[in-house]
Chain A
Amino acid sequence: MYRNKYRLIIPFLLPSVALYVTFVLYPYFQAMYISLTRWRGLSPNAEFIGLENFQRMVTDDRFWNALQNNLRFLATLPLITIAISLFFAFLMTQGVRGAKFYRITFFFPQVMSIVAIGVLWSFVYHPIMGILNSFLRLLGVETPPVWLGNPETALGALGAVVIWQGIGFIMILFIAGMESIPPTFYEAAEMDGANRWTIFWKITLPLLWDTVRTALIFLAIGAVDMFAIVQTMTQGGPSRSTEVLASYLYDTAFLASRFGYATAIAVFMFLMVLVLSIILMRLTRRESLEY
């Protein structure tokens, strides 16, 4: 079709490939090496120490504490978010009045930055001026918890904010999936006298399964991160009860200047996400239903 198409291909490809290789791929590969070194950032040459950083993690209590917090998020946030979103999505495809208003409203928190949401909820949770506790007092709770100041409640309080933000988005995904299910399936089920809940479990959910898997993996990856919300609302406190791997990594690198060890934590997080995605893909695999 063209004479000399390379006169277009090369200038169109070169700038983006150069930027991408320099700022994205090169740092990723460098990270693999840095994780095998001891490096305080002062000397230009990092000292190669093999797997020592990874061995140190095994006995590092602060690492285990952070990992545990991530695992708590991982065990709860994706499932709760998906359950509530599925429920709302199902309700909203039952022909309710005002569905459009609910869609717009529920989705809005997704557009705001996590930092703005973190600040907003720091106000809501505030022990004196916060509306949550003053509401609880109205209900007769005499000493409501100091949500973010108590190691017992802080992690759950952060998790609730993330669920609050995520529900609208996941719900919209599910509604889109539900709307693409052909009406004939429902008509047939109704002719057979199935009620709404049977229809949901036997028809909607199986046909929506691929979307649910996507949402699950998406939310699981989010639960391994959690940096912005933790950094904004608690900075890992009180007494490290909300510290996650990403915030430990950040402190280790940019406050303690232990760049080798911090990068080893990053490599661990990467492997964790990778293994997690593979496991979730395997566990949730089903016969795919064609329609």
Chain B
Amino acid sequence: MATETIPNATAQAPATQRGADFSLSAFLTRVLIQTILVAWAIIVIFPMLWLLYSSFKTDQEIFFNPWSMPEALQWANFERAWVSAHIGEYFLNSLLIVIPGLFITLLLSAMTAYVLARFPFPLNRFFFYLFLSGMLFPVFLALVPLFFLVRNLDMLNTYHGLVLVYVAYSLPFSVFFLTGFFKTLPSELHEAAIIDGANQYQVFFRVMLPLAQAGLLSIGIFNFLGMWNQYILPLVLMSDPTRYVLTQGLAYMLHQQYYMNDWSGLFAAVTIIMVPTLLVYVIFQGQIQKGITVGALKS
């Protein structure tokens, strides 16, 4: 398995040595390496595993036997988290913002990137650098003016307000990334479609967009995680508790615990949030790692 994922000399080197001299020290080195890696894997996994099984326990069990498995599975914890603690509502709010936000981001950034990558016109470079400059500033700088702008547009505590803001802040990096991507696509198909009598819009939607699928997937995953996990923007622009998104709702629940004392419900709430993320991650982990690491280009 290892040699499949790491096809280079360092991966093969021990294999060639193994035949010649399988020494004790080489064996001990391998044991040591595995011990270190297993130890870190436990440090990463165990807190989540503990959270998962604890979310089926009663408050008493959580408090007095932190390590024990649940005596009986308390499914009611999940019901309380979903209904009384409004996790269901927060979940829906997140979806209602992230799905349109992601769709519009991908559409607009692909259109913009396509034009900037493929059409020479006098202000082309100007617009490219205009978008690029947005990556220079931290979002904190915009916070106060953004709050008043959104308020003056009567869009505080609205879904469409937050959607537009998410899209706007996702554009710089998405346009930058996709412009690079569209430049690498071959132009022969493009020309062939024109000769076949396709108009410019058809060329874009039927030929170029499907060709850009891989790039759209990477930038889509990157933006999805960014929007789904966003905290500061909804905190400032969505102060109405019935419109909270998941991150806000979760932080709110934690801060309320000191008065409400429903720890098992809170454990269940975090599990509800963690498990779907985990499943999606395990299924798409290759693309997700690629999608996130494109973000490192950003700095």
Q: Which residues of chain A have a CB within 8 Å of any CB of chain B? A: 1-2, 5-9, 12-13, 15-17, 19-20, 22-28, 30-31, 34, 41, 88, 91-116, 118-124, 128-131, 134, 164, 167-169, 172-173, 175-176, 178-179, 181, 183-187, 190, 214-215, 217-218, 221, 224-225, 227-228, 231-232, 235, 246, 249-250, 253-254, 259, 262-263, 266-267, 269-270, 273-274, 277
B contact residues around A277 at 8 Å (CB): 299
Chain B: which residue is nearest A5 at the CB level? B119
- A221 to nearest B CB, angstroms? 6
A contact residues around B281 at 8 Å (CB): 108, 111
CA–CA, A92 and B136, complex, Å: 34
- Chain B at the A interface: SS class: helix
A contact residues around B142 at 8 Å (CB): 24, 27-28, 31
Interface centre among B10, B137, B165 (most CB of A within 10 A): B10
A contact residues around B263 at 8 Å (CB): 129
Say whether, besides A99-B5, A100-B5, A24 and B41 are in contact (CB < 8 Å).
no
Q: Is the CB of B134 within 8 A of A20?
A: yes
- B36 to nearest A CB, angstroms? 7
Interface 1/0s, chain B 237-276, versus A by CB < 8 A? 0000000001110110111000000010011001001100
Known: A16-B111, A27-B141. 6 other contacts (CB 8 A): A1-B194, A95-B6, A176-B293, A179-B7, A231-B231, A266-B138
CA–CA, A225 and B140, complex, Å: 9
Counting chain B residues whose Cβ lies within 8 A of the other chain, the interface size class is: 35 or more
CA–CA, A44 and B47, complex, Å: 50
Total inter-chain residue pairs, C-beta < 8 Å: 304
Q: Which of B47, B288, B292 contacts A120 (CB 8 A)?
A: B47
Say whether, besides A16-B112, A24-B134, A105 and B270 are in contact (CB < 8 Å).
no
A contact residues around B6 at 8 Å (CB): 92-93, 95, 99, 175, 179
Say whether, besides A97-B1, A270-B138, A129 and B108 are in contact (CB < 8 Å).
no
Q: Is the CB of A98 within 8 A of B1?
A: yes
In the complex, 6 of the A-B residue pairs with CB atoms within 8 angstroms, ordered by the A residue number, are A22-B168, A24-B172, A27-B149, A31-B141, A94-B14, A262-B143
Q: Is the CB of B12 within 8 A of A24?
A: no
CA–CA, A19 and B10, complex, Å: 49
CA–CA, A254 and B36, complex, Å: 45
Q: Is the CB of B108 within 8 A of A34?
A: no
| Interface flag for B2 (CB, 8 Å) | yes
Q: Is the CB of B37 within 8 A of A91?
A: yes
Say whether, besides A13-B127, A95-B3, A270-B138, A109 and B10 are in contact (CB < 8 Å).
no
Chain A: which residue is nearest B295 at the CB level? A218
A contact residues around B229 at 8 Å (CB): 112-115
Interface 1/0s, chain B 95-139, versus A by CB < 8 A? 000000000000011011011000101000001001101101110
Q: Is the CB of B15 within 8 A of A41?
A: no
Say whether, besides A93-B8, A102-B41, A269-B138, A9 and B231 are in contact (CB < 8 Å).
no
A contact residues around B143 at 8 Å (CB): 249-250, 253, 262, 266
Interface centre among B121, B127, B263, B296 (most CB of A within 10 A): B296
Q: Is the CB of B169 within 8 A of A16?
A: no
A contact residues around B299 at 8 Å (CB): 214, 217-218, 221, 277
B contact residues around A101 at 8 Å (CB): 41
Say whether, besides A95-B11, A95-B14, A134-B66, A262 and B225 are in contact (CB < 8 Å).
no
- A129 to nearest B CB, angstroms? 5
Q: Is the CB of A115 within 8 A of B168?
A: no
Q: Which of B43, B127, B145, B254 contacts A119 (CB 8 A)?
A: B254
Q: Is the CB of B111 within 8 A of A12?
A: yes
B contact residues around A178 at 8 Å (CB): 8, 10
CA–CA, A16 and B111, complex, Å: 9
Q: Is the CB of A95 within 8 A of B2?
A: yes
Q: Is the CB of A16 within 8 A of B296?
A: no
CA–CA, A122 and B266, complex, Å: 11
A contact residues around B250 at 8 Å (CB): 113, 115-116, 119
CA–CA, A31 and B136, complex, Å: 14
CA–CA, A180 and B121, complex, Å: 37
Q: Which of A99, A131, A168, A218 contacts B66 (CB 8 A)?
A: A131
